[in-house]
Amino acid sequence: MERKYKRILLKLSGEALMGSKSFGIDPVQVRQYAEEVKGIHQQGYEVAIVIGGGNIFRGLQAADSGIERAQGDYMGMLATVMNGMALQSALEGQGLFTRLMSAIKMEQLCEAYIRRRAIRHLEKGRVVIFGAGTGNPYFTTDTAAALRAIEIEADVILKGTRVDGVYTADPEKDKTALRYDTITFREALEKGLKVMDLTAFTLCEENNLPIIVFDMNKRGNLARLLQGEDVGTLVSNAV
């Protein structure tokens, strides 16, 4: 079977790393993700990862505590680097070679992000984790994922969530909500469906970069998705 995708960008939320905890990092959950990534890496896929920081600190919520928005966003970027370090450690525990690249320079911890170097790492079979978002306040890690995916010429963004796709309504609140197998960017915008933030979504639409929203917590879903099984919802420009 011919592969539809070769180079992928996996987007994970910081909250996903909490597992059953209410805060911080659950080592069991991180290990599971590392095992999933190892599975697809062994099949020859080039894997880049962007991870959020909401399990440690969220910039938007910082304003409620009197912290300036830009300052809070920078604190959130540091949280993504911490998550990246945890995931890097778990991936290396699975025997994978990795690189953690940061949009904010911190030489003792990770490489500074350089586009061509990131692409070279992927070509050499290393799993690349992008930390510190875009390096700028007022941008989400969804936007960082879209930007990095376009820069490294990824074939697809895989947005791992705790629901198994895009629904007509929030399936956790509305039991009658129906899942889309496929939907276009235009349709998702017109229906007001929350897939990614608008900046990220527009970047993907304009650069013809498909997004697949899927349940990352179900073991084997990542591999099944890439093998062409009906997992998650494909959002693209195609009708």
* Distinct helix (H) and strand (E) counts, the chain: 8, 9
- Of 223, 186, 171, 197, the residue nearest 38 (C-alpha): 223
The C-alpha R_g of the chain, in whole angstroms, comes to 17
pTM above 0.75, yes or no: yes
Q: Tell me if 16 sits within 8 A of 159, measured CB to CB.
A: no
- 229: how many CB neighbours lie within 10 A of its CB? 11
pLDDT in the model for residue 2 = 53
Which residue(s) pair with 111 in the sheet? 101
Give the domain extent around 91.
7-236
Burial of 118 (0-12, 13-18, 19+ CB in 10 A): buried
- What CA–CA distances, in Å, run from 41 to 44, 79, 107, 168, 232? 5, 26, 27, 33, 20
Does any domain span residue 31? yes
User: What's the CATH code of the domain at 109?
Assistant: 3.40.1160.10
Question: Three-class SS of residue 154?
Answer: coil
Q: How many domains does one find in the chain?
A: 1
Task: Flag whether 77 is in a domain.
Answer: yes
The residues, ordered by sequence, that sit 6+ positions from 230 with a Cβ below 8 Å of its Cβ are 181
3-state SS, residue 181: coil
C-beta of residue 75 within 8 angstroms of C-beta of residue 111:
no
Instruction: Specify if 144 maps to a domain.
Output: yes
Is residue 128 within 8 A of residue 181, CB to CB? The reply is: no
Q: Which residue has the tokens 């820069």?
A: 151
User: Looking at the DSSP assignment, which residues form a beta bridge with residue 179?
Assistant: 167
In a domain, 1, yes or no: no
Task: Say which amino acid occupies 83.
Answer: N
**What local confidence, expressed as pLDDT, does residue 173 receive?**
87
What is the pLDDT, as a whole number, of residue 206?
97
What 3-state DSSP class applies to 76?
Answer: helix
Bridge partners, residue 156, by sequence: 8
Taking only the tens of pLDDT, the chain with its 239 residues reads: 456 899 999 999 999 999 888 889 999 999 999 999 999 999 999 999 999 999 998 766 666 778 898 999 999 999 999 999 999 999 999 999 999 999 999 999 999 999 999 999 999 999 999 999 999 999 999 999 999 999 999 999 999 998 899 999 888 889 899 999 999 999 999 999 988 999 999 999 999 999 999 999 999 999 999 999 999 999 999 85
Q: Is 111 inside a domain boundary? A: yes
CA-to-CA separations, 95 to 100, 216, 228, in angstroms, rounded: 15, 21, 26
Helix (H) or strand (E) holding 227: none
For residue 2, being part of any structural domain is answered with no
Asked, for residue 159, whether it belongs to a domain, the answer is yes
* Length of the chain in terms of residues written: 239
